Amino acid sequence: MKPGSLAENITQVREKIEAAARRSGRDGTDIVLVAVTKGVPLEGIEEAHALGLSLFGENRIQEAATKVSALPPPIQWHMIGHLQTNKVPDAVRMFQMLQSVDSIRLAEKIDEECAKLDRTMPVLLEVNIAGEVQKYGFKPEEVYAAVDAAGGLPRLKIMGLMGMAPNNPEQSPRREAFKKLKNIFSVLRSLKRNNVEMKYLSMGMSGDFEIAIEEGSNMVRIGTALFR
């Protein structure tokens, strides 16, 4: 494999995922890899698919639209960026999962659009574990009420939580943020609620996915480390 090639990057990321999973008493196959393709041209995504990746994440509807139509199912697409309510009609047609549900208003709009299509939508609730005002998401103390409210929407299937660590060069604040989200996830997982199946804890990006996995993540969203 050529050093720095996509093939080599994929191999390296997979090895790191495997090693981090083992450190947390799990297996690499327990961790879902979402390849984040924002800014990556279609050819790059096709190459990644040819190399075995089949789950991609995008953060903008407009950029995702052409990619999703060029690479339809069984290839899977997750929305990972802030979603405006006026883009929901497009989003529910394009994505297999919306990871970035950050308000009840948005959840209600998704429910409404899915009713029109007679489908249900798997979603994750985004939690602002970084505590940074510029980041989206429910506050940690709001999540329980948010799960209750969103769980009452029949077209939504709440499948977990998503979060981003603070933009901090230090490891320890990131680790603390991941621990916090894992705790919330564990509590929610132990409660039984309609339309809620706490399966995915989506945390960890190129700079911190190994720490995130050590702290319990089972879904990582990785862009730069693959497509740099």
Q: At what angle do helices 171-190 and 143-151 cross, to 10 degrees?
A: 40
| Residue 206 near ligand PLP by CB under 6 A | yes
* Nearest to ligand PLP of 38, 189 (CB atom): 38
Give the binding range for ligand PLP (CB under 6 A) out of 17-25, 173-181, 189-197, 216-224: 216-224
| Residue 80 near ligand PLP by CB under 6 A | yes
| Residue 166 near ligand PLP by CB under 6 A | no
In the set 121, 143, 146, 222, which binds ligand PLP (CB under 6 A)?
222
| Smallest separation, CB 192 to ligand PLP (Å) | 29
| Residue 221 near ligand PLP by CB under 6 A | yes
Neighbours of 166 (CB within 10 A): 16
Reduce the DSSP state of residue 136 to 3 states and report it: coil
**Residues 188, 190, 191, 192, Cα dihedral to 10°:** 120
Which residues in 18-37 contact ligand PLP (CB under 6 A)? 36
Q: Which two tokens stand for residue 157?
A: 């299937």
d(CA 166, CA 179): 13
> Cβ-closest residue to ligand PLP?
223
Q: Which residue has the tokens 């970084």?
A: 130
| Residue 194 near ligand PLP by CB under 6 A | no
d(CA 114, CA 155): 6
Q: Give the interface with ligand PLP as residue ranges (CB under 6 A).
A: 36, 38, 59, 80-81, 205-207, 221-225
